[in-house]
Amino acid sequence: MVRYAALKGLYDLEKTIGSGGFAKVKLATHVFTGEKVAIKIMDKTALGDDLPRVKLEVEALKTLLHQHICRLYQVIETESHYFMVIEYCSGGELFDHIVEKNRLSETESRNFFRQIVSAVAYLHSLGYAHRDLKPENVLLDKEENLKLIDFGLCAKPKNGIETHLQTSCGSPTYAAPELILGRKYLGSEVDIWSMGVLLYALLCGFLPFDDNSIESLYRKILSGKYDEPGWLSNSSKKLIRAMLQIDPKKRITIQQLCKHPWITGEFLNPVSFIHKTNFEKDDDVLRTMSAVCGEHALDIWKKLVKSDRTDYKTATYLLLLDRKLRGLSLRISTSAKSHFKSEIEGEVNNVISKHNYSPISKNTRKSPELGATYNVLPNTPETAKNFLEPHLPGRKRPRSKETDDVCSPVPVKRATEKDRVVCMSTNTPVSDTKGTQSSTPGSARKVIMGIERSLNRVRCVLTPKRRMKNENIDPEQPNIVSGKGLCNVSSTSSDDPKYVLSQLRRALRRKGIMCHQKGFILQGETEDSPEDDKDTTRPFSSKNACSFELEVCLLESVSNDKLLVVIRRKRLKGNAWVYKRVCEEVLALAAEDLSTEPECSTESKCPI
C-alpha cells in the first residue's frame, strides 16, 4: 500500500530494505513495467545541512550513464520529501561479498576491480571525482555486476578534474595523506588512493591502514607503511604500491591503471568505457510506450530528450531500455494495461502523462553547482587537519554493513579534528615474512571465518538486506525463515533456540557490549574508545562505534522437515569493519562452553 501521495499510481511500495538517520530505502514495483526498483525516501526536515549534498548527488546522477554506476530513474520532490527512484541491486554490497569469502582470489578481484576502474575512469573523463570510494559504496546486481553508488561527496570543479579542491571529506581509513594534512588536492588522485585501499581489501580481507586510535591511524596513513601478506602475488603488490604512494604526483594515473599489466592479465584487453551522458534512442522501447500511451513515438522521444529525470515517462523508458539490454522481452504489467485502458477511455489522463513531473517543479529551483566543493569546514590553519566523514542519506547499506542492500548511506556525526599527526617520509610496505595475515592493530584479520567453532561451520548467505517473511507474532517463539530471504545467517549445531540466545547474551556480556533484548532479537551497540571521547569536537569521534542486531531464528531445511537453529546478523549503523570484528568475536565467545549465569528477561535492558 502506498503511503506517500506522490507515489500513488506510479510505484507500489513493498518492504524496507535499508534505513538511516534521516532516510530509508524501500523496495518497490514500477507500476507500468512491473520492474523492481529501489526508492530512497528522504525527509527534508531531517536532512538539515545535508540537503545540499542530496541535491548535488541527484544532479550528478542525472548526468552519469555507465553500466557500473547505479542508474537514477526518477526524482520526485515534494514540500516535505525527496524520492530517488534508483536501480535495484539485489546482490548486496561488495563489502558483504568480501565478508562471505574472507578474501577474494586474484581472478575474482581483477574482475571486480576492472569494473570499478571503468566506472572511475568514466567519472574522471567527465570531470567528476567521487571522493568516497570503498566496498560499502559498491553494490552487486544479481549477475554480480558492480554498481557504484553514493555521490553525495562528489565534486566537479568548474575548471576541470585537474583543478585543486580543498574540502577534506570521505572515510578516514580510505583517505589519502593529502586529505588528512588538510592540503589542496586533486580529486582524481585521492580517488586512486581509495581504489588502492579497496583493492587491498579485496585481496586481503582487511584494511592496509586501520587502528582504534585516530592518531595512530593517521600516522599509518602518512607513513605509507602497510603489511604485504604472503599470499599476494608480486604483480598485485606492485599495483597496490603504485596506488598507495604518499606523494600524489608519484601515484599511478587512471589512464595508466586502465592498461596496467595486472588489470589486463594475460588475455584481457585494457579497460575501456563509452563516453556518454545522454541515454540512447531505442525505437522498440518507444513503440511499446506509444502503444500504451496513445502518443506518437517521435513525440515521446522529443519530451524524453528534454527530460531532467523528474517525470515518470523517463523512468518508464529507462526501465524498458534496461530490460531490453538484459535480453528480456519488452512488456508492461497486466495491471498497468487494465489501469491505463480505463484512463484512456475517458476517466482521467493516463498515468504517464498525469504524473509527468514532480509535485515541485525543478524549474522553480536552482540546481546545486557541482563545480563548488561544498566547504563545511573553515579554511584556517587551526582547522587545516579537519576531516569530514560522509553525511549521506539512507545505506544502510546495504551500507556496508549498515547492511542495507541498496544505496542507503548512514549519516555519521560530524565534529572537528584537533589532533597532531606525525608525518613520516617513508613509503615502504612492510613485508609479511610469515606469509600469513597482517598485524595491523584494530583490523579484522579474518572476515567472519571459523568464528562459530562449536556452533558448527558458518555459511553466510548474502542477499538483499530485508526482513524475513512469515515472521511469527508470538514473542516467545523464534521467527521461522526460508531460504529466499536469508541475510548473513550462521548455522549452529544446537536444536535449542533459547540456549543459543543465552550463549549470545553471555558473549555480549563478556565483551562489555550493552544490549537490548526483544524476544529472540538482541540489539547491541559498541561505544567509542576512551581516547576518542576525550575530544568531542573531533570528526572521527564516532569511528569506533557501531550498532548491530543478532537474532536467533529457525530455518526451514530443504532436505527434511527439521527446523535448524540459526543466527541472523545485521548491521544497523556505524563502522562496517568494526561491525565485522565485533561479530567475529561475539560469535566465537558464544561458541565456548560458558558457565550458566542469571539471564535478562524479555523486553528488558541487559546490564552487560
Q: How far apart are CA 369 and CA 245, in angstroms?
A: 31
For residue 405, indicate whether it is catalytic. Answer: no
Q: How far apart are CA 24 and CA 76, in angstroms?
A: 15
Phi and psi at 178, nearest 5°, equal -65, -30
CA dist list (Å): 415 to 239, 388, 391: 35, 8, 12
Burial of 221 (0-12, 13-18, 19+ CB in 10 A): buried
In this structure, the strands spanning 146-148 and 138-140 are: antiparallel
Q: How far apart are CA 556 and CA 204, in angstroms?
A: 34
Q: Is residue 489 within 8 Å of residue 459, measured between CB atoms?
A: yes
CA dist list (Å): 427 to 4, 181, 258, 337, 423: 54, 16, 24, 63, 11
**Residue type for 512, please?**
G
In this structure, the strands spanning 480-481 and 546-556 are: parallel
CA 259 to chain CA mean position, Å: 27
How many secondary structure helices (H) and strands (E) does the chain include? 18, 18
Q: How far apart are CA 174 and CA 131, in angstroms?
A: 9
Q: Which three cell numbers stand for residue 226?
A: 602497510
Q: For the CA atoms of 506, 508, 513, 515, what is the dihedral angle to 10 degrees?
A: -80
Count CB-CB contacts under 10 A for residue 518.
13
CA dist list (Å): 342 to 12, 27, 316, 565: 19, 27, 19, 50
**β-bridge partners, 41:** 24, 83
Q: Is residue 147 within 8 Å of residue 139, measured between CB atoms?
A: yes
Q: How far apart are CA 25 and CA 408, in angstroms?
A: 6
Q: Which of 224, 207, 132, 210 is nearest to 171 (CA)?
A: 132
Q: Which three cell numbers stand for residue 169?
A: 571529506
- Enter the DSSP assignment of 517: E
Q: How far apart are CA 214 and CA 543, in angstroms?
A: 8
Q: Which of 524, 520, 583 is nearest to 549 (CA)?
A: 524
Per the residue annotation, which of 132, 227, 311, 432 is the catalytic one? 132
Q: How far apart are CA 560 and CA 316, in angstroms?
A: 44
Q: How far apart are CA 206 and CA 202, in angstroms?
A: 8
Expressed in angstroms, the distance from the first to the final Cα of the chain is 40
Q: How far apart are CA 314 and CA 320, in angstroms?
A: 10
Q: Which three cell numbers stand for residue 75?
A: 526524482
- Give the residue numbers marked as catalytic: 132
